[in-house]
Amino acid sequence: MKKINSIIYITGLLAMIAAMPACKSDFLEKPPLSSVVDANYYKTDEQVMAGTSLLYSQVWFDYNDKAMYNLGDFRGGTAFSAWNDRGNVMFNTTGDNGENGASWRAFYNVVGQSNLFLYNIERYGGPDVTPAVKKTAIAEARFMRALAYRFLVMNWGAVPIIENNFEHMYDTSIARNTVPSVWRFITREMRAAAEDLPLTPAQEGRVTKWSAEAMLARFYLTRAGVEGSGGSRNQTFLDSAKYFAERVINNSGRKLLTNYGDLFKFPYDNNAESLFELQWVFSGPDVWGTQNSMPEYLAYSPDISFGGWGGDKGATWWLIKQYDGIEEQANGTLKGRTLDQRLHATFMLPGFYYPEITKVSDKAKLIYPFTGTDQNFLAVKKYVIGSPIDLAGKASQQHYPHDTYMMRLSEVYLIYVEATIGNSESTTDTKAVEYFNKVHTRAGLPPYEVAGTNGSGPLTLDKVYSERFKEFAMEGMSWYDLVSLHYWNPNKAYAILNSQDRGLFFTQPDQMPSPTSWTFTKTSWFNERTINANDGNFLLPIPNVELAQAPNLQKAPVDYP
């Protein structure tokens, strides 16, 4: 693994000697470049906190740049790209695929830089660093490392666990570790982080005990499938997921924003619903790695951003079918409208109005145009926040200031619901239905009723999955939901994936402006509509360059201690 570890070590070291001149909060500020050296950097509380601040931004840059939506949404089927990133869209990603290699390196970069911080704080931490700050800083690094391994194990399966990069810097014989042992490691790490993180953030945007316990709820829900048997999930871990979810709901002080769309209207950073965000800043066009570059790849036109390279990206046909009120017709089209506010906040339909985004060309507020004759795109809205006109000049090409959600309270509510359903097909549990409706009604939909005249019967697992797909579309989540399902019910995961239409279609409003409904028609000449997910292609292949330099990666994995 020489390449992996040398990359991790070098980039980690460079990150620790990088200075960022402009920041949005104190904890992102860095001391002068000349003072940031291993032997001198960890002498005060302020220096230690400055060191861990990079774990909230720069170490995650490559994940946020493209891997987040490329894996989480393209692979999961909530969004697609017609001409680019086709390996993940069509489930034929190879070991030579550039985005596959970039994603692998992105997560190991987080691991490596977290390891580097832990190495340095233990060796160079001075006597003036208070025990409380040191404990919190170590917990932050363990939190980030555990989360990175969650992404690694869910994308590539068995992967090597590295806790000390110096010990393995030139080791080409390192082996992969089994999936259950990776999950044991990351759960243990996150539990340790939860023990040592403070109840309230030391500075805005930093993780807390509740951030870690929310992650534990997520981890245990997934691990229940990893260590299940006979098509059932491990009940102890389902109970643990439910336990931690309820603790966060009741004790964290977090609450859902009233309007879903406000979650993605700048500035929304570190709001009342957020449990963990990547912290991005606009530091000027000459500073790289601390800004949010992702909007450039998602925005459909330079008229609302700088590059606007997302013109071939948008919602899939399959996702549009998930929205209440949009119904399949006898002729195979979809037609209707939805009260679900999440659609407007996530994807642009012809005629949708966005007063928070100003077009560069004519300074008019954005009404998403109606174009095409047999195909168009429902462009991405989520994380697209406009150009400098809308951001007080604090943006430039691939340099935006807004954060990326990594955990929101709405997920914690839905984790509780799924853990309550557990190994059943459905639930009528009063609290689970209440928590489901917290998310469901916030989207502008009527409450889900189990019984009564308008009752829909018990709350099913399929309903929860559909809710998650709509709630978290374009937040890099759907793929990991399906991997979590695959651990204990692979046939159901394959059935969902293979039922997804990922092809071109044409969306026509009933009128422009101010449409009241839309008709969706599949593009007849486009053939690449579905995939064939199976045991052979479900997980990503380890990049070929890594296999060439570390042949042991091709051997059977071993348990991690």
Average pLDDT on 20-38 reads 35
State the pLDDT at residue 452: 83
Indicate whether 185 belongs to any domain: yes
In this predicted structure, the answer to whether residue 19 has a pLDDT above a threshold of 50 is no
Question: What is the percentage of the chain residues whose pLDDT exceeds 90?
Answer: 85
Indicate whether 406 belongs to any domain: no
Question: What is the C-alpha separation between 299 and 311, in angstroms, rounded?
Answer: 7
The CATH number of residue 260's host domain is 1.25.40.390
DSSP code string of 181-248: HHHHHHHHHHHHHHHHS-SS-SSTT---HHHHHHHHHHHHHHHHHHT-BTTB--HHHHHHHHHHHHHH
State the pLDDT at residue 314: 98
DSSP code string of 269-313: TT-TTEEEEE------TT--SSSB-HHHHH-S-TTSSSS---TTE
Closest CA to 75 of 471, 515, 502: 502
Average pLDDT on 210-233 reads 97
State the pLDDT at residue 35: 32
Bond into 267 cis (ω within 30): yes
State the pLDDT at residue 454: 82
Question: What is the C-alpha separation between 528 and 41, in angstroms, rounded?
Answer: 54
In this predicted structure, the answer to whether residue 524 has a pLDDT above a threshold of 60 is yes
Helices (H), 54-178: 61-62, 68-69, 86-89, 98-124, 131-156
Diameter of the chain by CA atoms?
74
Question: What is the C-alpha separation between 349 and 367, in angstroms, rounded?
Answer: 9
- Cα 241 to Cα 32, 56, 323: the distances in Å are 44, 25, 28
Question: pLDDT-based confidence at 287, cuts 50/70/90?
Answer: confident
State the pLDDT at residue 173: 78
- Determine contact, residues 186/177, Cβ cutoff 8 Å: no
Closest CA to 76 of 465, 523, 528: 465
Decide: helix, strand or coil at residue 526: coil
Question: What is the C-alpha separation between 107 and 193, in angstroms, rounded?
Answer: 19
Average pLDDT on 332-349 reads 98
Question: What is the C-alpha separation between 376 and 495, in angstroms, rounded?
Answer: 27
Which tens digit of pLDDT belongs to each residue from 305-331? 988 999 999 999 999 999 999 999 999
Which tens digit of pLDDT belongs to each residue from 410-422? 999 999 999 999 9
In this predicted structure, the answer to whether residue 9 has a pLDDT above a threshold of 50 is no
Of the candidate ranges 262-276, 284-298, 508-522, the one whose mean pLDDT is the lowest: 284-298
- Determine contact, residues 288/298, Cβ cutoff 8 Å: no
Average pLDDT on 421-443 reads 98
Average pLDDT on 470-496 reads 98
Closest CA to 89 of 498, 531, 465: 531
The chain-wide mean pLDDT, for the chain, equals 91
In this predicted structure, the answer to whether residue 277 has a pLDDT above a threshold of 90 is yes
Indicate whether 258 belongs to any domain: yes
Residues whose CB is less than 8 angstroms from the CB of residue 184 and which lie 6 or more positions away in sequence, other chains included: 560
- Determine contact, residues 194/209, Cβ cutoff 8 Å: yes
State the pLDDT at residue 267: 93
Average pLDDT on 471-497 reads 98
Of the candidate ranges 37-41, 358-362, 395-399, the one whose mean pLDDT is the lowest: 37-41
Which tens digit of pLDDT belongs to each residue from 256-265? 999 999 999 9
- Determine contact, residues 260/443, Cβ cutoff 8 Å: yes
Which tens digit of pLDDT belongs to each residue from 536-556? 999 999 999 999 988 899 999
State the pLDDT at residue 15: 37
- Determine contact, residues 245/256, Cβ cutoff 8 Å: no
Burial 302-328 (b: 16+ CB within 10 A, else e): bbbbbebbbeebbbbbbbbbbbbebee
N-terminal to C-terminal alpha carbon distance within the chain: 20
Indicate whether 521 belongs to any domain: no
Closest CA to 424 of 231, 251, 254: 231
Decide: helix, strand or coil at residue 414: helix
Average pLDDT on 226-241 reads 97
Question: What is the C-alpha separation between 244 and 194, in angstroms, rounded?
Answer: 11
State the pLDDT at residue 170: 64
Average pLDDT on 424-439 reads 97
What's the distance, CA 116 to chain centroid?
A: 24
What's the distance, CA 83 to chain centroid?
A: 23
- Cα 348 to Cα 142, 368, 377, 427: the distances in Å are 38, 6, 8, 34
Indicate whether 104 belongs to any domain: yes
Residues whose CB is less than 8 angstroms from the CB of residue 346 and which lie 6 or more positions away in sequence, other chains included: 315, 380, 381, 382, 470, 473, 474
Of the candidate ranges 190-199, 276-285, 413-422, the one whose mean pLDDT is the lowest: 276-285
What's the distance, CA 124 to chain centroid?
A: 34
Which tens digit of pLDDT belongs to each residue from 474-484? 999 999 999 99
Of the candidate ranges 33-42, 169-178, 193-202, 542-551, the one whose mean pLDDT is the lowest: 33-42
- Block residue for tokens 């023990």: 195
Domain tally for the chain? Answer: 1
User: Hey, CA dihedral for 330, 333, 334, 336, is it positive or negative?
Assistant: negative
User: What is the 8-class DSSP label of residue 507?
Assistant: E
Which tens digit of pLDDT belongs to each residue from 119-145? 999 999 999 999 999 999 999 999 999
Indicate whether 49 belongs to any domain: yes
β-bridge pairing 313-315 and 334-336: unpaired
Structure tokens at 106: 């992105």
In this predicted structure, the answer to whether residue 559 has a pLDDT above a threshold of 80 is yes
Which tens digit of pLDDT belongs to each residue from 57-84? 999 999 999 999 999 999 999 999 999 9
Indicate whether 126 belongs to any domain: yes
Phi, psi dihedral angles at 406 (to 5 degrees): -115, -20
Q: Range of 115's domain?
A: 2-282+538-554
- Determine contact, residues 41/16, Cβ cutoff 8 Å: yes
Of the candidate ranges 373-382, 504-513, 548-557, the one whose mean pLDDT is the lowest: 548-557
Indicate whether 151 belongs to any domain: yes
State the pLDDT at residue 167: 76
Structure tokens at 492: 């159901």
The radius of gyration of the chain from alpha carbons, rounded to an integer in Å, stands at: 23
State the pLDDT at residue 165: 83
Structure tokens at 97: 């695929």
